[in-house]
Amino acid sequence: MSKDETLGEALRQQGISRRGFLKFCAATASMMALPPSMVPAIAAALEKARRPSVIWLSFQECTGCTESLTRSHSPTVEGLIFDVISLDYHHTLQAASGTAAEAARETAIEENYGKYLLIVDGSIPTANPGYSTIAGVSNVDMLKEVAKGAAAIVAVGSCAAFGGIPHAHPNPTGAVSVSDLVKDKPIINVPGCPPIPVVISGVLLHYLTFGAIPELDSLSRPKAYYGQSIHDRCYRRPFYDKGLFAEGFDDEGAKKGWCLYKLGCKGPTTYNACATTKWNAGTSFPIESGHPCLGCSEPDFWDGGGFYKALSMPTEDISRTAVYAIGAGAAAGVALGALNRAKKAKATKAHEKVTINDLEKGN
C-alpha cells in the first residue's frame, strides 16, 4: 500500500469486501467508544483516510505496552500495522536492525516531515543522558529530534505519559514524561501499566479516522476512555453504596464479590475504561478477578502510599503518634494545671477580708 492510497482503496486492493470493511468500522466504533450510530461516518472517514507514517520510540520501558498492543485483538495487529498505518520505525517489531533501522527512521522523518505520528513508550532519563541511549543517541535528544517534525505525539503507557515506574520515588534516573520535555506539540496521553490494548488501537484509529486528536481531559487523556472512574462503572459499586466490603482476600465478603475499597482499591480516583472494556477480549478486569485497582493510569500511582491502603488512609503510623501526643498533652496539661493552681492559691492568699465597710466604692 503506497502512502498516497486511501485506506478504502488499499483494503479493496487486498480483496476485503465492503461487508468486511463495515464490520471493521463497527468494531472500530466500539473500540473508539463511539456510539454505533457513528459507524457510517467512520466508514466514510476511514475510506478516505490516508495511512500516516508512524514512528515508535521506546525509552525506559519494559515493552509491556508493545506487548499489550500486539495482544490487541481487534482488528488484528498485523492489519493495524501494515494496512492502517505505516509503521516506519519500531525497535521491537521492525525487521531491520542496526544502521538500517536508524536510516529508516531518518528517512521517515524526512519524507513525512510535519505529518507523521510519533508514538512514545517509556520515560526519559534526565539525570544522566547515558542511562538510556539508542544507537548512541540519548533518549532526550532522540525525542526532541523526532518530536520536531511530528504532527502529534501519543504517549503510550504511564511511563511516557507521567514518568511511570522509573519516575517512582526516589527516581534515580531523573525520569520524566514526554510532556515534561515536549511543550510545542499536541500530546495524547494513553496511560496505564500497560494501557488496555483496544484503547491504544482506538486512539490510533481515532487519529487516523478523523485526522485530529480526540477530546482530552486535564491530564491529556482521551475522554472517551478516561472520562469515567473505574469506581463509577464498576459492577461492584452497588456493594460500596450498601457499605458491604471485603475485609480480606479470602473472607466471606471477598467470596461474595463485595467491594474491594477496604483492600486499597484505587477505583474511585482512577480514570480508565477497565470496568467496561475489560481485558483479554472483554473477559475480565482486575476487580472482577478479586484484586483492587492499583490506579495504574494515574500519575505517581506507584507512590500512592501502598496498593493495599485506600487513598484516604494515613501513610504513617497515627496511632503511635496519638499515644505520644496524648502523653505529651497530659504532661503539659499537668504542668499548666499546676501553674494555674499556684495562681489560684496565690489569689486565695492575697484575699483581703471584705467587710461591710469595703463595699462602698472608693473604700
Partner 1 sequence: MSASLQRGINAFKEQIDAPVASFFSSCVRCGLCANACLFHTETGDPKYTPIHKLEPLRRVWQQNYTFWGRFAKALGLSRAVTDDELGEWETLVYDSCTMCGRCSMVCPVGNDIAYMIRKMREGMAAAGHAPEGLIGASQRAVTIGSPMGVKLPALQAQIRHTEQETGLKIPVDVEGAEYMLLLSSMEIMNFPEFIGAIAKILKQAGVSWTIASEAFEATNSGIQIGVSEIAAELVERVVAAAEKLKVKGVISPECGHAYMAIRWEGPNLIGRPYSFRVVHIMELLDELREQGRLKTTGKESQRLTYHDPCQVARRGGVVKQPRNLLNMVAEDFVEMPETGTMNWCCGAGGGVSANERADEIRLKAFNRKKKQLDAIRPDAIVSACSNCRIYLEDGLEEYGMDMPVLSLTETIAEHLAGTEQTGSKE
Partner 2 sequence: MTETELLLWVRGPALQVATVIFLVGVAVRFIEILMLGRQKDLAEARGSALAGGLRTIVTRSVPDRGTLQRSTFNVVAGYVFHVGFFVVLLFFAPHILLFHEVLGLNWPALPTPVIDATTVVTIIALLAVLVHRVLHPVMRFLSRFQDYLAWLVTILPLVTGYLAFHRVGVAPPPTLIAIHILSVELLMVVFPFTKLMHAVTLFMARYYNGAIAGYKGVKS
Partner 3 sequence: MPCVTDTASLPAGAGENLTHNVQPLLHEIRHALAKLLEDGDGTVIDLRSLPLAPGEEQKLLDELDQGEVTAQIQALGPTEIIETRYPGVWVVVHFNNDNEVVGKFIEVCHIPALLCSQQEDIREGLERLSHHLLEATT
Q: What is the CA radius of gyration of the chain?
A: 30
- Interface with partner 1 (CB under 8 A), residue from 37, 289, 319, 348: 348
Distances (CA, A) of 243 to 48, 234, 260, 269: 52, 15, 11, 18
Length of the chain: 363
Helical residues (DSSP H) of 112-196, grouped into ranges: 139-148, 157-162, 164-167, 178-181
Q: Are 285 and 231 in contact (CB under 8 A)?
A: no
Q: Determine, following the binding rule CB under 8 A, whether residue 363 of this chain makes contact with partner 1.
A: yes
325 binds partner 1 per the rule CB under 8 A: no
Amino acid occupying residue 12: R
Beta strands across the sheet bearing 187-190:
86-89, 53-58, 116-121, 150-156, 187-190
Q: Which does 97 bind (CB under 5 to 8 A by kind): partner 2, partner 3, partner 1, none?
A: none
Residue 241: all three cell numbers together:
453504596
Chain residues 241-260 in contact with partner 3, contact rule CB under 8 A: 255-257
Q: Which residue has the cell 464490520?
A: 23
Using CB atoms within 10 Å of the CB of residue 244, give its burial: 0 to 12 exposed, 13 to 18 middle, 19+ buried.
middle
Interface with partner 2 (CB under 8 A):
218-219, 229, 240-243, 245, 261-262, 268-269, 271, 298-301, 303-305, 310-316, 318-319, 321-322, 324-326, 328-330, 332-334, 336-338, 340-341, 344
Residue 6 binds to partner 3 (criterion: CB under 8 A): no
Q: How far apart are CA 64 and CA 70, in angstroms?
A: 10
**DSSP structure class, residue 196:** -
95 binds partner 1 (CB under 8 A): no
E strand map for the chain: 53-58, 86-89, 116-121, 124-125, 133-134, 137-138, 150-156, 175-176, 187-190
Beta carbon nearer to partner 3, 34 or 142: 34
Q: Among residues 111, 252, 303, 358, which is the contact residue for partner 1, using CB under 8 A?
A: 358
CB nearer to partner 2: give 100 or 318: 318
What residue 289 binds from partner 2, partner 1, partner 3, none (CB within 5 to 8 A, per partner kind)?
partner 3
- Residues 324, 328, 334, 337, CA torsion sign: negative
Count of CA atoms in the C-beta half-sphere (13 A) of 109: 17
We find the least distance from the C-beta atom of residue 43 to partner 3, in angstroms, to be: 11
Binding range to partner 3, per CB under 8 A, among 94-102, 283-291, 298-306, 353-361? 283-291
Instruction: Confirm or reject binding of residue 327 to partner 1 (CB under 8 A).
Output: no
Q: How far is the CB of 270 from partner 3 (least distance, A)?
A: 15
330 belongs to the binding site for partner 1 (CB under 8 A) = no
Q: Which of 93, 328, 336, 338 binds partner 1 (CB under 8 A)?
A: 336
Residue 96: which of partner 3, partner 2, partner 1, none does it interact with, CB under 5 to 8 A by kind? Answer: none
Residue of 105, 236, 262, 266 that binds partner 3 (CB under 8 A):
236
Q: Does residue number 290 form part of the binding site for partner 3 (CB under 8 A)? A: yes
Interface residues toward partner 3, by CB under 8 A: 12, 16-20, 22-24, 26-27, 29-31, 33, 35-37, 39, 73-76, 79, 233-239, 255-257, 275-277, 281-284, 288-290
Interface residues toward partner 1, by CB under 8 A: 332, 336, 339-340, 343-344, 347-348, 350-356, 358-363
